[in-house]
């Protein structure tokens, strides 16, 4: 068990944590991050529960198994391949992240899932068509053993799909109870010592928070009364958090981004994070926009369009689901560029995002960006980005990292009671943050925040990149 050098009371909210950390950071590497609490060791199996066994989920699970068998490498995963610099640049200490903090090993992961279709993971992965069939055949016995539990689903929230493997219940509370039974059953039958829920289900129709989402009391009343503002993903989130299980949301649905879920998360010490995996186009946006801002280059327009042919693309062809995704994608520029601070540069931006369902491409999305920028004396310039990416190949390592880091958060006495894990913003298009605090979208700030959180947990110096001490 890793113990901390000094003990202090757990910070009541993120904002205060940031202020405290900033005050302690004094150099390229300052000496000693004070910290409190302990991190329990990653002993035993970690159960990964996935609502939505589609392209992303199967690419993740098949990938983990392929890596365990030595058939492939975990490219794109920070927890598996990343390092963290410790101390001064001259110290030469850059351990692998998985050796620096106690993370679950890949061999300890066990899986279950829920889906409206009855396909097991082998069949679902073959249907998704992301991974080579020859690779899937090598993994067939394992993938076939992961079968979907019946889902909590309502066609009204995902208009483009329907399926037979769905739970029945008089009220949404009954459905939540059935999910809680599933969770307990999986824990028992798998022998897992810890669990994580990772939403990889379809994007649901756009919903705004209402009275029903404001407190545990009003949410439970709404569950019993079948309130239509409670979407299926919220029922999974409620069931998980009630069982004390951390929940990550890979889709743009509100799901855990609600006052009731924050309350439940803190009360039951089940960390939450979301929303919407930052994979292709938005990843590029959160790299380029910070560069324009750093160099004070103006922006007049950013037109983003995509063609996508997988089931996710089909679901997003429905205006209700697209609106949820659009909201998630649009917030990025506003938060990075801060037009109120820089009205001459970013006060009048035309930002448009389109997603077009185009079956021939399958999971291989093509995302185009036309960016109109302006420089010295207002002279215009253009940048074109054409990213021929693979959606689920980009998403799978994110899922792995979130699973392992959320489990770390649950085992950390300092992180587990905080609710939102803002240090995991790095992985999301629309990161959750404390009420009243604007989210950080800049990929490099997110990366620094994540690594400094790991240093902080282990009592290592935070790194500020000041570095004056090298020139004393």
Ligand X SMILES: NC(=O)c1ccc[n+]([C@@H]2O[C@H](COP(=O)([O-])OP(=O)(O)OC[C@H]3O[C@@H](n4cnc5c(N)ncnc54)[C@H](O)[C@@H]3O)[C@@H](O)[C@H]2O)c1
Considering the rule CB under 6 A, would residue 331 count as an interface residue with ligand X?
no
Out of 80, 197, 203, 240, name the contact with ligand X by CB under 6 A: 203
Residues 259-298 that bind ligand X (CB under 6 A): 276-277, 279
| C-alpha distance from residue 105 to each of 78, 351, 404 (Å) | 14, 42, 9
CB atoms closer than 10 angstroms to residue 347? 12
Considering the rule CB under 6 A, would residue 200 count as an interface residue with ligand X?
yes
Specify whether the CB–CB gap between 14 and 75 falls below 8 A.
no
| Distance (Å, whole) CA 8 – CA 309 | 52
Considering the rule CB under 6 A, would residue 202 count as an interface residue with ligand X?
yes
Residue 232 vs 331, nearer CB to ligand X:
232
Specify whether the CB–CB gap between 407 and 46 falls below 8 A.
yes
Q: How many residues bind ligand X (CB under 6 A)?
A: 36
Considering the rule CB under 6 A, would residue 366 count as an interface residue with ligand X?
no
| Distance (Å, whole) CA 49 – CA 182 | 10
Considering the rule CB under 6 A, would residue 55 count as an interface residue with ligand X?
yes
Between 133 and 152, how does the x/- string for binding to ligand X read (CB under 6 A)? ------------------xx
Which runs of E-coded beta strand occur in 5-115?
A: 38-39, 45-51, 109-115
- For residue 428, give the nearest of 198, 83, 105, 157 by alpha carbon: 198
CB of 81 to ligand X, least distance (A): 19
Considering the rule CB under 6 A, would residue 11 count as an interface residue with ligand X?
no
Considering the rule CB under 6 A, would residue 318 count as an interface residue with ligand X?
no
Residue 298 vs 367, nearer CB to ligand X:
367
Residues 372-431 that bind ligand X (CB under 6 A): 391-392, 394-395
Specify whether the CB–CB gap between 398 and 345 falls below 8 A.
no
Q: Is 354 left (phi over 0), alpha (psi -120 to 50) or beta?
A: beta
Residue 55 vs 84, nearer CB to ligand X:
55
CB of 12 to ligand X, least distance (A): 31
- For residue 449, give the nearest of 9, 4, 25, 11 by alpha carbon: 25
360 DSSP assignment: G
Considering the rule CB under 6 A, would residue 62 count as an interface residue with ligand X?
no
Residues 240-259 that bind ligand X (CB under 6 A): 250-251
Residues of this chain that bind ligand X (CB under 6 A): 51-57, 114-117, 128, 151-153, 158, 161, 163, 200-203, 232, 250-251, 276-277, 279, 310-312, 315, 391-392, 394-395
């Amino acid at each position: 068990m890793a113990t901390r050098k000094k003990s202090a009371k757990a910070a009541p909210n993120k904002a205060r944590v940031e202020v405290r950390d900033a005050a302690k950071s004094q150099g390229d590497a300052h000496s000693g991050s004070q910290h409190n609490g302990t991190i329990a060791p990653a002993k035993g199996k970690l159960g990964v529960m996935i609502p939505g066994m589609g392209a992303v989920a199967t690419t993740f699970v098949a990938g983990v198994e392929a890596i365990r068998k030595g058939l492939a490498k975990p490219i794109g995963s920070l927890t598996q391949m990343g390092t963290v610099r410790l101390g001064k640049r001259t110290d030469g200490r850059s351990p692998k992240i998985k050796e620096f903090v106690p993370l679950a090993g890949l061999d300890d992961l066990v899986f279950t899932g829920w889906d409206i279709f009855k396909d097991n993971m082998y069949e679902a992965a073959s249907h998704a068509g992301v991974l080579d069939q020859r690779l899937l055949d090598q993994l067939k016995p394992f993938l076939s053993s992961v079968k979907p539990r019946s889902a909590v689903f309502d066609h009204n929230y995902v208009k483009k799909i329907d399926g037979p493997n769905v739970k029945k219940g008089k009220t949404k509370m009954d459905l939540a109870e059935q999910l809680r039974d599933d969770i307990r059953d999986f824990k028992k039958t798998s022998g897992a010592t810890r669990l994580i829920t990772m939403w990889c289900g379809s994007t649901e129709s756009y919903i705004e928070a209402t009275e029903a989402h404001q407190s545990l009391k009003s949410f439970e009343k709404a569950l019993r009364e079948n309130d239509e503002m409670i979407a299926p993903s919220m029922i999974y989130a409620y069931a998980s958090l009630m069982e004390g299980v951390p929940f990550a949301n890979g889709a743009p649905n509100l799901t855990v981004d609600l006052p009731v879920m924050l309350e439940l998360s803190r009360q039951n010490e089940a960390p939450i994070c979301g929303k919407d995996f930052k994979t292709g186009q938005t990843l590029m946006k959160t790299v380029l926009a910070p560069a324009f801002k750093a160099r004070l280059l103006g922006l007049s327009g950013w037109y983003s369009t995509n063609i996508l042919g997988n089931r996710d693309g089909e679901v997003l062809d429905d205006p209700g689901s697209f609106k949820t995704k659009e909201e998630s994608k649009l917030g990025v520029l506003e938060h990075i560029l801060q037009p109120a601070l820089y009205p001459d540069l970013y006060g009048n931006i035309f930002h448009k995002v389109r997603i077009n369902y185009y079956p021939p491409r399958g999971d291989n999305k093509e995302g185009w960006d036309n960016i109109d920028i302006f420089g010295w004396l207002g002279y215009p310039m253009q940048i074109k980005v054409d990213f021929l990416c693979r959606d689920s190949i980009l998403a799978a390592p994110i899922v792995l990292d979130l699973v392992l880091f959320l489990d770390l958060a649950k085992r950390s006495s300092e992180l587990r009671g905080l609710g939102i894990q803002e240090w995991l913003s790095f992985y999301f298009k629309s990161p959750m943050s404390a009420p009243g605090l604007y989210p950080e979208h800049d990929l490099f700030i997110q990366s620094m925040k994540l690594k400094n959180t790991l240093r902080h947990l282990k009592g290592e110096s935070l790194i500020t990149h000041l570095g004056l001490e090298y020139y004393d």
